[in-house]
Copies of this chain bind each other. A is one copy, B any other.
Amino acid sequence: MANKFTIGLVQMKCTANSDENLARAIEKIREAAAGGAQIICMHELFHGEYFCRTEDAELFNLAEAVPGPTTEKLAQIAKEKKVVLVVSLFERRAPGVYHNTCAVLDADGSFLGKYRKMHIPDDPLYYEKFYFTPGDLGFPNFQTRYAKIGVQICWDQWYPEGSRITALSGAEVIFYPTSIGWHSHEKAQLGAAQLDAWRTIQRSHAIANGVYAAVVNRVGFEGKPEKGDPGLEFWGNSFVADPFGQIVSQAADNKEEILVVECDPAKSEDTRRNWPFLRDRRIDAYTPILNRWLDRE
């Protein structure tokens, strides 16, 4: 049976100053490590503000190679503190090919690999299809020093297929680095239901697959309403769900927080033995799921 391991979720605010964000992130990684965290995950695109609120070709300049300058800096702290880091970055792969990518650094600072966001949204103030080429690395796992992990980035979190495939490769925990928030004109009417749906769909991945789900969301308001940029209120609420979907740790919606949670692979196996969903999957009958829509039925 695999060993227990401890994860750390850093929920933080970001400014337009990327150096400052990175310095603060490193500070918080140290804090999480001091609290016992062995695998630490940042929220989506923690290096800056959530820039997809507008479509501006200049902003491609924010992208960098992965591995590259940021992972090199982070590798130092990973090695120093012997922590695995799961860090979401804007990847410049080639001129004109940019990805929303998550790098995984092992506890010796080595670059273990990356996941490129597979499902790319496009909604008002979340104009991601302008920036991000859809991922082409599938749904990989990463065997880190402390546990086997998977990653699903933000919009991916709404797709049971992605989490299922990630879990079927043996991930003991799936991390969901996220930047999701409320539109100010919607919050009063729809905000509670949106947050609830978001929490529910991710808890459901834990339940369906018997894995830990670790969701790390951005917090804080970004935008300048007085200058015509209505902005987004990122709703935090980072959480960890156990392999039966129960929330075992939960952050607030309006402040920075660090969650440190011990995960026990035995809990996952126990859940899967008592509610053995994986045993009974009808893999002979799932082919229609590969269709966009089933018009002919």
State the Cβ distance, A182 to closest chain B Cβ, in Å.
13
- Which of the residues B118, B246, B283, B291 comes within 8 Å of A168, measured between beta carbons? B291
Stretch at the interface among A65-73, A100-108, A158-166, A257-265: A158-166
- CB contacts (< 8 Å) of A140 on chain B: these are 297
Among A203, A285, A291, chain B packs the most CB atoms within 10 A around the CB of: A285
CA distance A193 to B119 in the complex (A): 31
A10-18, A220-228, A274-282 - the one binding chain B: A274-282
Q: Are B208 and A158 in contact (CB under 8 A)?
A: yes
* A179 on the B face (CB < 8 A): no
A150 to chain B, nearest CB (A): 10
Of residues 167 to 218 in A, which have CB atoms within 8 Å of B's CB atoms? 168-170, 193, 196-197, 200-201, 203-204, 207-208
Q: Does A289 touch B at the CB level, under 8 Å?
A: yes
Nearest chain B CB to A257 CB, angstrom units: 24
List CB contacts (< 8 Å) of A234-275 with chain B: 244-246, 274-275
Residues of B within 8 A of A200 (CB): 200, 203-204, 207, 245
Taken together as a complex, chains A and B put the C-alpha atoms of A170 and B295 apart, in Å, by 8
Q: A200-B245, A245-B196, A280-B121 are in contact. Are A208 and B159 (CB under 8 A)?
A: yes
A286 and B283 contacting across the interface, CB-CB below 8 Å: no
**Chain A window 99-143, contacts with chain B (Cβ cutoff 8 Å), 1 for yes, 0 for no:** 000000000000000000011110100000000001000111100
Residue of B nearest to A293 (CB): B168
- Check A95 for interface membership: any CB of B closer than 8 A: no
CB neighbours (8 Å) of A2 from chain B are none
Would you call B168 and A289 a contact (CB within 8 A)? Answer: yes
Residue on B nearest A141 in the bound complex, by CB: B297
The reply to whether A289 and B196 contact each other, CB–CB distance below 8 Å, is: no
> A119 and B281 in contact (CB under 8 A), knowing A207-B201, A286-B290, A290-B287?
yes
Nearest B-chain residue to A198, judged by Cβ: B207
